[in-house]
Structure 1
Amino acid sequence: MTENQAVISHEKHYQHGNVVSYIVGFVLSVILTVIAFYIVISHSLSLMATGIALGILATLQIIVQSSLFLHVSLMPSKRVDLISFLFSVFVALVIVFGTLFVMHNVGHFMMSR
């Protein structure tokens, strides 16, 4: 296999983004960030509505980042990438919520003395 064939084989197997997808991802990320910033700064929504809006915007931001920059998709050829990404999210959630659980219990039991 020549070097050119190896590069073509690599490009077929790993679909990297092009400049347009990176620019679209960057613009969408900036727009979502500015919207979230405006919602918080303007105090135009109630506290509950602000939390819900920020949760929705954060979810959209995750979708934009993972699809346009990390190239995670539901295609069968990208299944390993998706499983790795979901496992990483799971580990991060276990660490965050485990830490919160431990800190809550430490505070609860230390204050009871």
Structure 2
Amino acid sequence: MSAEDHSAHGHAGETHGHGSMGSYMIGFGLSVFLTAIPFWLVMSGVLGSPELTAMAILAFAFVQIVVHMIFFLHMNTRSQGGWTMMALIFTVVLVVITLSGSMWVMYHLNHNMMPHGDTQAIHDMSRMP
């Protein structure tokens, strides 16, 4: 397509919801920051309890999803940008189902698969079939 074809569609000289290099770099920086902080929380154990750490990681994950939607998927509140209230509600429902389902599965895997109290059975190879 030539430049004239683009100008006929109203795309000449406007970004039309597409990101600039600066907005991509801001999104990248926020993404790195929102990944590094939970990593630091887990590795340092600064929050103390695993439950509190997991909730903090979920909060950072939710914020990172919003950052990706805004800076990389170019979603905004204008209807001509393709972002409607139904899309927001659908995204929030999917995120809640995914995050809560993941936590539920991990909790039950840990509870049902790890021996609690009988640590000697792990080291006693004579019990193995």
TM over 0.5: yes
1: CA distance between counterparts of 2:88 and 2:15? Answer: 18
The correspondence of residues 40-59 of structure 1 with structure 2, limited to 5 A, is: 40-45=42-47, 46-59=49-62
TM-score (norm 2): 0.58
2: CA distance between counterparts of 1:25 and 1:17? Answer: 10
2: CA distance between counterparts of 1:60 and 1:36? Answer: 12
Matched pairs, number: 97
The residue identity in structure 2 corresponding to 1:70 is L
Q: Report which of the two structures shows the higher radius of gyration computed on alpha carbons.
A: 2
Structure 1: state its 5+ residue gaps: 105-113
2: CA distance between counterparts of 1:30 and 1:91? Answer: 23
Residue 32, structure 1, aligned to residue 34, structure 2: yes
Deviation for aligned residue 1:14: 3.5
Q: Per-residue displacement from partner, 1:19-61 (whole Å, max 9, x unpaired)?
A: 0000000011001100010111111111121011111101110
2: CA distance between counterparts of 1:65 and 1:57? Answer: 12
Q: Per-residue displacement from partner, 1:52-92 (whole Å, max 9, x unpaired)?
A: 111110111011110000011112322x3444575466568
Structure 1 pair 91–30 and aligned structure 2 pair: CA distance change class (3 A): closer
Q: Is the 8 A contact 2:38 2:57 kept in 1?
A: yes
The residue identity in structure 2 corresponding to 1:29 is S
Identity %: 31
Deviation for aligned residue 1:10: 7.5
* Selected match of 1:74 from 72, 77, 85: 77
Q: Is the 8 A contact 2:23 2:71 kept in 1?
A: yes
TM-score (norm 1): 0.65
Q: Could you say what the CA RMSD is over the residues aligned between the two structures, in angstroms?
A: 3.3
